[in-house]
Amino acid sequence: MTRITVDVNDEWLDAAKEVLGTDTKVATINAALHAFAVRRQAREVVAAFDQVEMDFSGSADAWRYGGGRDLDTLAQQARDAEAA
């Protein structure tokens, strides 16, 4: 673990503390850094999925007992939602 001394804007720190539900300055800063790291990982996962062609044809039949959600139109619905 790295130990640093840094000047931090008190208003921003208090706001982050409230949002993150942390009790100390150290916990708040660590939680904020962790949140940004997780967001970056999530962007990378979404980008990886965006590069893969998904085929949902016949997905309703793939679930046990023929039930489940029909995903045939899921990709088109996502594109329509982005366009709106």
Nearest alpha carbon to residue 7 among 22, 25, 23: 25
- Domain ranges in the chain are 1-52, 54-84
Which residues, in sequence order, are CB contacts of 63 under 8 Å at separation 6+?
Answer: 69
- State the pLDDT at residue 73: 74
Contact 74, 60 (CB under 8 A): no
Backbone angles phi, psi at 11, to 5 degrees: -65, -45
Which residue type, as a one-letter code, is found at position 27?
A: A
pLDDT under 50: residue ranges of the chain: none
pTM: 0.56
